[in-house]
Amino acid sequence: MNTVPPAEIERRRQAEAAVADVRISDPASLDDAELVSVVKRLEGLEAELSTIRKQLFHVLDALTAEIERRVAAGLMPTEAAESTS
């Protein structure tokens, strides 16, 4: 079962394509407009990925806090909580 939303898969593909772009491996070969365009595209992609990472960490923090709460209340065995690390 794939739980990754299609939009996230597309962002991942964009990131992979951007990094694999052979033109950017030699910045000196890019003209001014290409250089500016590539930088803007990568900055935009980085901002999107950063937003996704922040959302991911927010959810992960909430889940971890719930595990800690359950262990502290004796509702979850410590061994089960340790398997998440």
Tens of pLDDT, residues 7-57: 778 888 888 888 888 788 889 999 999 999 989 988 998 998 899 899 999
What angle (nearest 5°) sits at the alpha carbon of residue 55, between those of residues 18 and 76?
130
Please give the pLDDT value at position 71: 95
- Is residue 1 scored above 60 in pLDDT? no
Confidence of residue 2 (pLDDT cuts 50, 70, 90): low
pTM for the predicted model, two decimal places: 0.68
Residue type, 22: V
Please give the pLDDT value at position 85: 66
Whether residue 76 contacts residue 70, with contact meaning beta carbons closer than 8 Å, is answered with yes
Position 69 in a domain: yes
Please give the pLDDT value at position 3: 66
Instruction: Domain of residue 19: give its range.
Output: 6-82
Q: How far apart (Å, rounded) are the C-alpha atoms in residues 37 and 79?
A: 51
Position 1 in a domain: no
Position 16 in a domain: yes
CA distances from 11 to 27, 61, 67 (A): 23, 23, 30
